[in-house]
Chain A
Amino acid sequence: MESLDYIDSYFKGELDPSDVATFEQKIISDPAFAEQVATYLSMLQVAKEESDDNKKNKFRELYNQHKASPSTSTIKRMWPSIAVAALVAGIIFGLYVFVKPVSASQFADRYIREQLQTMSVSMGTQDSMQATINLYNQEKLLEALKGFQDILQKDPSNFQAAQNAGITSLRLQRYNEALDYFKQMEAHKELYSNSAIFYQAITLMKRNDPGDSQKAKALLQQIVHDNLSGKEFAQEWLKKM
């Protein structure tokens, strides 16, 4: 703690010029101290990245809102871009016709690998939920699933617990259980954003039993048609499936 206080004072510009020189000399002469300074900066870096990730998530929400209700002035300003984008999109679509289709299972694999490896904790989340999310983030999936199930048992209306239990079941390849949890989520009609249908589609794409691919496709079409959560992914996948 003492060394952290000292390092913190240096980077906050609170040291006298003579103390600054001593600090920098210590970095050169004391490898353990240099290591502590580097760790301090690395911790600052990851905290900044975490903060930036949160902001990007907020930006994503704003962007989704924007796409749902673009203002007239925005449309006017964007019109030339829209025309060009439409042309580009047309060309890209044309190219897709000639490329080999990618399987639904591959999309699901990629999504799970890139989007569902960790869960974030939102403000106001209760301790048991946070502790269980931590288990998930440590890849202790069976323990995490048990934790989410316990929370859900105490509070069957807990949307986040149902969603997290579903995602954990999906990661554990317990597809039927995952589908049950994602269907439970559907009951929460009051929520602005509910990914229940999207997660069901991913589970079906991943399970890949006979008929699953068609069912998943129908769900993805529903997502696009009703402008539901996951629309961007659904549009992208539908083009290539």
Chain B
Amino acid sequence: MGIGSSYNISDQEIIEQLRHSGIDKIKSEEQLFNRYVYFIREGMSKHSLTEDDAFDAYSDTLLSAIEKISNGTFEGRSSLKTYLYQIFHNKCVDLLRKKTTNKQSVHRAESISDKYEQMSDPAKTIIQQLIEKSDWDLLKKKLTELEEKCRKLLMMWADSYADKEIALALAYKSADVVKTSRLRCLDKLRQLYKTY
């Protein structure tokens, strides 16, 4: 994709494409990246971050925003630029504060908590405590041991793609086949993790 092509469509179109998933979603993620890539320089100048740290802050900003736009949490009360810049500013400040800690934790903290937010408090507390005991490094390593198609399927699932969209993207016969395959892949990963 060319660098200049991100200026051909409006912010609203990017938001719509991100909300509707499908193959256009990947394209719109790239368009979004190119449109506000100058934030990286601002991170370097205004927050005195290194280029790598500013890049990380910008990438994490986009990942967080893409998730919120996709799941409808972004309501569009402010312009996309203002919204992104606010997240970016916070990420830069987080990075400066957590300079000596694991940078990944900046993004991890907000990832799955909303999944069990709907649970009753006693159940939520139990799940929270168990998740905190997870061996993330081991689980991540075991994920890389799965077959490539399995891994791609799980990544798309984690990215909130519907089974129907995954079927199209990864050439499965139907959404039902995707669901069965997804559960098999999860079962395989669980076994690899638990039998280690």
Contact = CB atoms under 8 A, between A and B. Distances in A.
Interface of A: 1, 4-5, 8, 11, 24-25, 27-28, 34-52, 54-56, 58-60, 62-63, 65-66, 69-71, 73-74, 77-78, 81-82, 84-85, 88, 118, 120-121, 123, 125, 130, 134, 137-138, 232
Contact of A88 (B45, B58, B122, B130): B45
Contacts of A45: 108, 111-112, 131, 134, 136, 158
A34 B59 contact: no
A48 B37 contact: no
A48 B183 contact: no
B4 to A, nearest CB: 5
Contacts of A62: 1, 3, 30, 33-34, 37
Nearest to B51: A232
A227 to B, nearest CB: 15
Contact of A46 (B123, B139, B179): B139
Most buried by B among A45, A54, A121: A45
Contacts of A38: 127, 130-131, 134
Interface of B: 1, 3-4, 7, 29-30, 33-34, 37-38, 40-42, 44-46, 48, 51-52, 55-56, 58-59, 62-63, 104, 107-108, 111-112, 115-116, 119-120, 122-123, 126-127, 130-131, 134, 136, 139-141, 143-145, 147-148, 151-152, 154-159, 179, 182-184, 186-187, 189-190, 193-194
Nearest to A137: B144
Given A39-B193, A62-B33, A118 B158 contact: no
A85 B44 contact: yes
Nearest to A74: B38
A206 to B, nearest CB: 21
At the interface, is chain A mostly helix, strand, loop or mixed?
helix
B3 A65 contact: yes
B40 A63 contact: yes
Contacts of A58: 30
Nearest to A23: B123
Contact of B123 (A28, A51, A56): A28
Contact of A4 (B56, B62, B154, B186): B186
Nearest to A73: B7
B107 to A, nearest CB: 7
23 contacts: A1-B183, A4-B190, A5-B183, A8-B179, A36-B190, A38-B127, A45-B134, A46-B140, A47-B143, A49-B140, A51-B158, A52-B63, A59-B55, A59-B59, A63-B37, A66-B34, A70-B3, A74-B37, A85-B41, A88-B45, A123-B148, A137-B141, A138-B145
A43 B104 contact: no
A74 to B, nearest CB: 6
Contact of A24 (B29, B62, B119, B179): B119
Contacts of B119: 24, 27
